[in-house]
Amino acid sequence: MGAHLDGEVVLDDTDNPFLADFAAGRSGAAFQAQLFSLLARHRQQVGLRQSSLFNQQTVSDYLFDKDKIYAYLNLDDNELFIYQRLYDLLLGDVVPPDLVIYLQIPTDVLRRRIRSRDREYRENGETPPDPEYLGELNDAYTHFFFHYVSTPLLVVETSHVDLEWGDTAMNDLLKQVRGMGQGTRYYVPR
């Protein structure tokens, strides 16, 4: 999408040294992974304030606010208390986006797509996400975006869409993006 909008593309930094320990269930690793991600995203967002002086558009594959989804799902109450204080402190440095696009998908379709990539996971020495955790995470995303009112929100139902987005599908999505006003709009690609 960034190329179609002549914008700077910002990708979430997935190089978190604590994720493997978190996936293995090591005690305290969820907190470490969460704080590492929060601070990495904050650093990236602060950097965007400078680059936005030179770029008209920025397209990011994550929303800073959604970091809380993982925190509330994975941290205990004491960890969450510390996390929330740090999050509140850092949030003031983050410029809110002009538009958020949420790619919504039912959990069963998501699980099926992940199962189809099982071989890729194994070849890369990774373990696919636990199906139960995936369901909880997807429910948490749905809840978060159902209540999201901070900026305009375009919810794109992706059950029947190949996310490789051919030209026609991308052009249709860009029409939706350009036509967005305030509030929330739901879009089901054909």
Asked if residue 20 lies in contact with residue 41, where contact means CB atoms within 8 angstroms, the answer is no
- The least confident of 1-15, 128-142, 175-189 is 1-15
User: In which band, very low, low, confident or very high, does the pLDDT at 103 lie, cut at 50, 70 and 90?
Assistant: very high
What type of residue sits at position 96?
A: P
pLDDT tens profile 130-144: 889 999 999 999 999
Q: Is 101 helix (H, G, I), strand (E, B) or coil?
A: strand
Residue 173: name the closest of 151, 148, 155 by CA: 155
Q: Confidence band (pLDDT; 50, 70, 90) for 90?
A: very high
Give the per-residue pLDDT at 126.
72
Q: How many CB atoms lie within 10 A of CB 189?
A: 17
Distances (CA, A) of 88 to 48, 120, 146, 158: 19, 38, 21, 32
Query: How do 100-104 and 153-157 pair as beta strands?
Result: parallel
Give the count of alpha carbons within 13 A of 120, CB side only: 7
What pLDDT is attached to residue 155?
97
38 and 87 Cβ atoms separated by less than 8 Å:
yes
Q: DSSP alpha helices (H): ranges in the chain?
A: 19-23, 29-51, 67-74, 77-91, 107-115, 118-123, 131-146, 167-178
Percent of the chain with pLDDT over 90: 59
Q: Which residues pair with 104 in a beta bridge?
A: 157
Return the closest-CA partner of residue 186 out of 150, 136, 148, 137.
148
Helix/strand/coil for 157: strand
In this prediction the pTM is: 0.86
Phi first, then psi, for residue 153 (nearest 5°) are: -135, 125
Q: How large is the angle between the packed helices 77-91 and 29-51, nearest 10 degrees?
A: 10
